[in-house]
Amino acid sequence: MNYITLNNGVEMPAVGYGVYQVSPDECVRCVEDALHAGYRLIDTAQSYDNEYEVGQGLRQSGVVRGDIFLTTKIWIANAGYEKAKASIDDSLRRLQTDYIDLMLIHQPFGDYYGTYRAMEEAYKAGKLRAIGVSNFFADRLIDLCHNVEVMPAVNQVETHVFHQQAELHAIMDKYSVVHESWGPFAEGRKDFFTHPVLQRIGAAHHKTAAQAALRFLLQKDIVVIPKSVHKDRMTQNLDIFDFSLSDSEMKELEGLDEKESLFFSHYDPKMVEWFYDMVKARKLRK
């Protein structure tokens, strides 16, 4: 496993296993499988409703907790200092751990400055080893960096060959924030796994299109958290450290960048309203 050093000196695996949309019924087994396959970064979130199962998977795997880098995220409904402070302790209980390696603000909505202050406090208390954000575009990331005591260590954003986030990556580099990709396979959109360029470049190295896509991001110093519920695919997604893409291959893959999200934009008013409608709907179900 390769590691990236965060701006506070903490080492973070360059490849992790994400549990977004992994059902609670499968999550314990999937986390165990991922850890046994060699993953040491597990990424979850309060809104995924599987933190408890992730904790169970960690405990049942037999892997030493100190060897695991555990990430979770504070949801919009828990924004603000008091709610975020309570939610950090709730996540610790659900994950059945004394500390979380990385906690992120999941979305740039609500009182995320209050949320960040709660994370800073938990960081100083040793409950969190690193803190950061997710889905923060350049304007909000820059503003945050100029108004906090503890600089964000990571920004997790949609990143894949079709949306490479080059401009945002440059901003993150400037502020020493590690770029982490969610959706490195674009959730299969645009015929991702059969894309001719990805397939051809992968085949040149006796690898799959998916492996070529992950290797591309790694060579851009981007942390990736691919998700699969199949152990053989988990193993395959981790098998990307024994080859390198050439400069010409990197340039060809850079040419696939469409510079637009395949999912949503936080600048879209309808999308922002959708997020808040989702928060309200979840409150009604409880």
Question: What amino acid positions are annotated as catalytic residues?
Answer: 48
Tokens representing 105 are 């603000």
Count of other CB atoms within 10 angstroms of residue 281: 9
Tokens representing 239 are 């098998």
CA distances 272 to 95, 110, 156, 200, 260, Å, are 29, 11, 18, 39, 17
Contact (CB, 8 A) for 167 and 146: no
Residue 15 β-bridge partners? 224
**Any binding-site annotation on 195?**
no
Q: Can you say which residues are annotated as belonging to the binding site?
A: 106
Q: Can you say which residues are annotated as belonging to the binding site for substrate?
A: 106
